[in-house]
Amino acid sequence: MGAETTDLKDFNLRPMKCECNFLSKSDGSAILSQGPTVALVSVNGPLDIKMTSQSIEKATLEVLFSSKSGKPSVEDRYKEHVIRQTCETAILGSLYPRSGITVTIQELEDYGGFLACCINCTCLALLNAGLAMRHTFAAVSCAIDEHGNIQLDPAPAQLDTARANMTFVFDSREKSLVTGFTDGSFSESAYNEALERCRAASQLVFDFYKDIVSKYSYVIG
- Domain map (residue ranges) of the chain: 13-220
Within the chain, what is the greatest distance between any pair of CA atoms? 55
For 3-48, how does the pLDDT look when each residue is reduced to its tens digit (9 = 90+)? Answer: 655 555 557 799 999 999 999 899 999 999 999 999 999 999 998 8
Higher pLDDT, 72 or 181: 181
Region 107-122: what's the mean pLDDT? Answer: 96
Superfamily of domain 13-220: GHMP Kinase, N-terminal domain (3.30.230.70)
Q: Please report the pLDDT score of residue 3 as a whole number.
A: 62
What average pLDDT does range 56-73 have in this prediction? 89
Q: How high is the pLDDT of residue 5?
A: 55
Sheet holding 60-66, edge to edge: 4-6, 16-20, 28-34, 37-48, 99-109, 60-66
Instruction: Specify the pTM.
Output: 0.91
At 53 the pLDDT is: 81
Compute the distance between CA of residue 216 and CA of residue 128 in angstroms, rounded to an integer: 9
Length reported for the chain: 221
Residue 84: burial class (beta carbons within 10 Å; 0-12, 13-18, 19+): middle
